[in-house]
Amino acid sequence: MSRIALALTINGQRHDVLTEAHRTLLDVLRADLGLTGTKENCLEGECGVCTVLLDGMAVDSCLLLAAQCQGREIVTIEGVSSRGGDDVLARAFIDCGAVQCGYCIPGMIISATAFLDEHPSPSEAEVREALAGNLCRCTGYQKIVDAVLAAGRTSGTETRGDAR
Amino acid sequence: MSFDFHEPASIAEAVALAARFGTEARFLAGGTDLLVQIRRKRVAPRHVVSLHRVPGLDTIDANGEIRLGALVTHRALERAPAFQGALRALVEGARVVGGHQIRNVGTVGGNIVNASPAADVVPVLLVLDAAVTCVGPNGAREMKLDEFLLGPGETALRPDELLTSIRFPAPALRSATGFLKAGRRRAMEISVVCVAVWLSLDGDDRCAGVRISLGAVGPRALRSCDRPVESSPRTVSRSRTSAHRQPTGGFSWKHSFRARSGQR
């Protein structure tokens, strides 16, 4: 079976990876690079715990071959806070008590990051729609939605991170 | 799962790979469905032919006739300025597919070729009278989407062919489209039923043409046959109440849907 040499830019850092063609970005992130903040669960694009940013867009890393990411820019939960202003989002999740077991939270933060980049002052309905691809079985979502709305308000008054 | 990964740089090269490996090969567009099928062991390709290095497959051309490359994502359909008016059903159909993560990657070509009876963009393309272009080793052929779709997971695409683009006419001046979906939840749900409508009016507010397509209620999305609609002037009103009236004119569901249900 052929192995493929890939140059992946992850959280601003270049990683040279040699991997089999069938392995997903999620496999490489967790097993090869030790970036275990991105979670693994349904492997079918239903739950969103594996969400990462690919060229700024939220994608399910379980449904993306690592080979598809050659030359593209990936941001994981480990890299999101290094984007500076996005700590606003993590802070809002803490302040709103939006985290219970925590398993869905990395995916939630990544989806919310991509969403707020495009919609700086969203409505509650827009936030709920934006998080439709991220399941949480603990919180009932209300506090997560509150956190994203709060982060939107905060970043509306402060300057959001331009470290992208 | 294990396979070799190919990244052709042209349609010709992609098709040559498909011809060489036959049923052992699968094209990879967004991959959001293919990877799930591989994991579920429904397919086990030995060769995956990625289309991402093939130039031009991800473009939307809306100067006059509309042409969608097969790799146009649902995200791109949602955001295309050309689809915010009379073609809005494309936006409405694209935005209810999966979550953002799926729509950012999943493609319109993949949605068609997978031939799910519940594919949400397909009824919209059917009412727009879309045609698909398929390229094989012996060149390109075009057929109506209505003829391309055969049944669940079944299309007229040959194993060595690649669906490269979808085209349909620019919207007429007084025409509109709409799309509605009913699922058990409001998001992340396969349609229980979805419906797309295209409607065109003449200068006297007479209904000049209508096409209706239903998804998820048959082995493939169903489309009303084209037939002239007789309507008296101003039977199509902008008021909400009149929309609930019985349709006038010779349009019968029973007779105008192709009798495909008897096939399976």
Q: Where are the domains of chain A?
A: 3-79, 81-157
**B115 has pLDDT over 90:** yes
- Asked, for residue B41, whether it belongs to a domain, the answer is no
Calculate how close chain B gets to A41, using CA atoms only, in Å. Answer: 13
Angstrom distance (rounded) from CA B215 to CA A136: 30
Question: Per residue in B144-173, pLDDT tens?
Answer: 999 999 999 999 999 899 999 999 999 999
DSSP A120: S
**ipTM of the complex as predicted:** 0.92
Amino acid at A88: V
Angstrom distance (rounded) from CA B185 to CA A163: 37
Amino acid at B219: P
- Asked, for residue B257, whether it belongs to a domain, the answer is no
Say if the Cβ atoms of B32 and A68 lie within 8 Å.
no
Report the pLDDT value the prediction gives residue B253, as an integer from 0 to 100: 39
Bridge-based pairing state of the strands A73-75 and A3-10: parallel
Angstrom distance (rounded) from CA B171 to CA B176: 8
Q: What is the mean pLDDT of residues B61-65?
A: 94
Report the pLDDT value the prediction gives residue A87, as an integer from 0 to 100: 85
Could you please state the CATH topology (level 3) that the domain comprising A81-157 is classified under.
Answer: DNA polymerase; domain 1 (1.10.150)
Residue A99: Cβ-neighbour burial (10 angstroms; 0-12, 13-18, 19+): buried
Three-class HEC string of chain B: CCCEEECCCCHHHHHHHHHHHHHHEEEECCCCCHHHHHHCCCCCCCEEEECCCCCCCCCEECCCCEEEECCCEHHHHHHCHHHCCCCHHHHHHHCCCCCHHHHCCCEHHHHHHHCCCCCCHHHHHHHCCCEEEEEECCEEEEEEHHHHEEECCEECCCCCCEEEEEEECCCCCCEEEEEEEECCCCCCCCCCEEEEEEEEECCCCCEEEEEEEEECCCCCCEEECCCCCCCCCCCCCCCCHHHHCCCCCCCCHHHHECCCHHHC
- Asked, for residue B40, whether it belongs to a domain, the answer is no
Say if the Cβ atoms of B188 and A65 lie within 8 Å.
no
Residue B247's pLDDT band (cuts 50, 70, 90): very low
Which residue range(s) make up the domain with B123?
55-246
Q: Can you tell me whether residue A129 is helix, strand or coil?
A: helix
Contact at 8 Å (CB) between A100 and A158?
no
Report the pLDDT value the prediction gives residue A82, as an integer from 0 to 100: 66
Say if the Cβ atoms of B102 and A45 lie within 8 Å.
yes
- Asked, for residue B255, whether it belongs to a domain, the answer is no
DSSP A118: H
Report the pLDDT value the prediction gives residue B231, as an integer from 0 to 100: 60
* Residue of chain A nearest B51, judged by CA positions: A68
Q: Which residues of A touch B7 (CB under 8 A)?
A: 67
- CATH assignment at residue B153: 3.30.465.10
Report the pLDDT value the prediction gives residue B241, as an integer from 0 to 100: 38
Angstrom distance (rounded) from CA B196 to CA A12: 44
- Asked, for residue B97, whether it belongs to a domain, the answer is yes
How many domains are contained in chain B?
1
User: Which residues does B contribute to its contact with A (CB < 8 Å)?
Assistant: 1-5, 7, 28, 31-32, 35-36, 38-39, 48, 50, 52, 75, 98-102, 104-105, 186-188
Buried b (16+ CB within 10 A) or exposed e, B75-102: bbbbebebbeebbbbbbbbbbbbbbbbb
Report the pLDDT value the prediction gives residue B190, as an integer from 0 to 100: 85
Report the pLDDT value the prediction gives residue B189, as an integer from 0 to 100: 79
Collect all residues with Cβ–Cβ distance below 8 Å to A84 and sequence separation of at least 6: A161, A162, A163
Calculate how close chain B gets to A19, using CA atoms only, in Å. Answer: 11
Work out whether the CA dihedral B95, B100, B102, B106 comes out positive or negative.
Answer: positive
* Residue of chain A nearest B50, judged by CA positions: A68
Q: Can you tell me whether residue A10 is helix, strand or coil?
A: strand
Could you please state the CATH topology (level 3) that the domain comprising A3-79 is classified under.
Answer: Ubiquitin-like (UB roll) (3.10.20)
**A126 has pLDDT over 50:** yes
Query: Which of the residues A2, A39, A63, A104 would you substitute to probe the B interface, choosing the one with the greatest number of B C-beta atoms within 10 Å?
Result: A63
Question: Per residue in A37-73, pLDDT tens?
Answer: 999 999 999 999 999 999 999 999 999 999 999 999 9
- Asked, for residue B199, whether it belongs to a domain, the answer is yes
